[in-house]
Structure 1
Amino acid sequence: MFGAVEVIPINNMISFEDVHRHPQSSCYLRAGKVIKVCFHLNKHSSAITYDIDGGFKKYVNVEDCSSLISTKRQNLFYDTMFEIGNVVQIEIAGVKRHAEVDSIEVKWIGNPCIVSYGVRDRTETVYYGISEKELKKWNSVEL
């Protein structure tokens, strides 16, 4: 699955004035330098979060505020091997079983992006943080 998301770029500074320009809005962004961008995607919703270095404090998983128009944004692109709803094989404690891709998380800390998945097995247990490399290995066709 290929896509793009419009975000505040990594290493961009969010100023105190940008954050507090609209005090009536429910914006949770903090002033500081963006050090990580995450795009969370599941069946019914999506979200963008940031890790922000505020100098003396580090803020993690801060939700994006699309109403903040004064902050520079750019498109970040991603390409995933699997899509939500795909049936895949996973391996838990050495036992292979079928599961369905339940969520996708794309992280940008630098280049390239890092993709991980949440998969739901037949017992309705969801395993989060499965790397694309690992999921690819479990689902490769053996010749």
Structure 2
Amino acid sequence: MKQRILQLIEIKGINKTKFYNLTGLSNGFLDKSGNIGVDKLENILNSFPDVNPTWLVTGRGDIFYIPVYSTSQELLDERIQFLEDQLKFYKNKSNFLEELSDIKNRVEVLEEFKEATKLLYEMQLEIKRTKESILKEKNKSSNLAVTTS
């Protein structure tokens, strides 16, 4: 149920502190383990009367409660607006997840590039050491040839 409360907070566009203030629940309540009592559930539902209690408790049904027996145009317009808002919210979340995936892929490519660059640098150092070693041997041979003459 706490996961659904966090989802509600996200959809409402508020933070945990604002939620605690609106519901009168203690700070950190959502971070603690344990079940939610009926009194706390009542506080939440009283603070957010548009929330569907069935959804909050079980996760079934719509998040927000709009009576199905209402046929007034105003309520139908509100329902349409709510559904459009929910659609926009989930599209934004989907776009965010796609961007996050793209960033992850870019980071992986950069990490591979970093490893390749490190390997190339190590190879360049090895080539430099080999050249220096060859020059030293060459100089020793030259000095030896001069000394024996």
* Bigger helix share: 2
TM-score band (shorter)?
under 0.3
TM-score, normalised by the number of residues in structure 1 = 0.20
Kindly indicate whether structure 1 or structure 2 has the higher relative contact order, using CA contacts under 8 Å at least 6 residues apart: 1
How does the TM-score come out when normalised to structure 2? 0.20
